[in-house]
Amino acid sequence: MKRILVVLMFTVMSLNALALDIWVKGGIVQGTGSKQTEDPGYNAGLELSQGFLGFVDLGAGVAYNGNLKYDNSSEQKNIGYDLAPVYVFAKFNIIPVAVKPYVVARLGKNFVVNDDTDYNGESKADGGAYGAVGVGVEFLSSFQGELLYSISEVKNNPSGKDNVEMVSLTLGYNFW
């Protein structure tokens, strides 16, 4: 038990020495475009970033967009699945002062999870590319609010479109 605590403490101190930021995020997501979601879904995420030159943050993250249910007028009913993108990002701080507005761009791979579409017992939807752009603001040195537009490629998408467009509003908290 002591070894585990020592390793954990060393890991935490190492992350702090490298000035890495760990953000935990949560919020709501809504489909846009011709195939909108029936109800707003939820978003949860974890990001790890490193600041460079005082105005650029580079990092990686993973998110989970849940409760995405689509209305479809064709023969396919109960279209619903969750998306889990894994991505890298660049965040550009516009004015790095007390309240820091920023622009962010993300690029990665999307995974289809929790596919509850009625396919007669088998899942056919598959993830593809993921891209997003957005704006946000950091405040009180530990909080973040972000508005993000994303496009997720879903191959064999039963909703009829290969690209799922979403807008999300998230709040985040920085642990370090």
Over residues 23-28, the mean pLDDT reads 93
- What sign results for the dihedral spanned by CA atoms 14, 17, 21, 24? positive
Is the pLDDT score of 87 beyond 90?
Answer: yes
Is the pLDDT score of 130 beyond 60?
Answer: yes
Q: What is the pLDDT of residues 150-167, one digit of tens each?
A: 988 877 766 566 788 889
CA 146/CA 172 separation, integer angstroms: 8
Is the pLDDT score of 44 beyond 90?
Answer: yes
Percent of the chain residues past pLDDT 90, beyond the cut: 33
* The token pair that represents 51 in the structure block: 């600041």
CB 163 within 8 A of CB 35: no
**pLDDT-derived band at 33, boundaries 50, 70, 90:** low
The amino acid occupying position 57 is: D
Q: Which pLDDT belongs to residue 26? A: 94
* The token pair that represents 3 in the structure block: 């070894």
Q: 3-class SS at 17?
A: helix
Return the closest-CA partner of residue 151 out of 165, 134, 162, 137.
165
Q: Model-level pTM greater than 0.85? A: no
Long-range Cβ contact pairs of 153-156 (< 8 A, separation 24 or more): 153/110, 153/127, 153/128, 153/129, 154/81, 154/83, 154/110, 154/112, 154/125, 154/126, 154/127, 154/128, 155/125, 155/126, 155/127, 155/128, 156/124, 156/125, 156/126
Domains of the chain: 21-174 (2.40.160.20)
* The token pair that represents 4 in the structure block: 């585990």
Mean pLDDT of the chain: 80
**pLDDT-derived band at 41, boundaries 50, 70, 90:** confident
The amino acid occupying position 98 is: A
| Range of lowest pLDDT (43-47, 93-97, 132-136) | 93-97
Over residues 89-111, the mean pLDDT reads 90
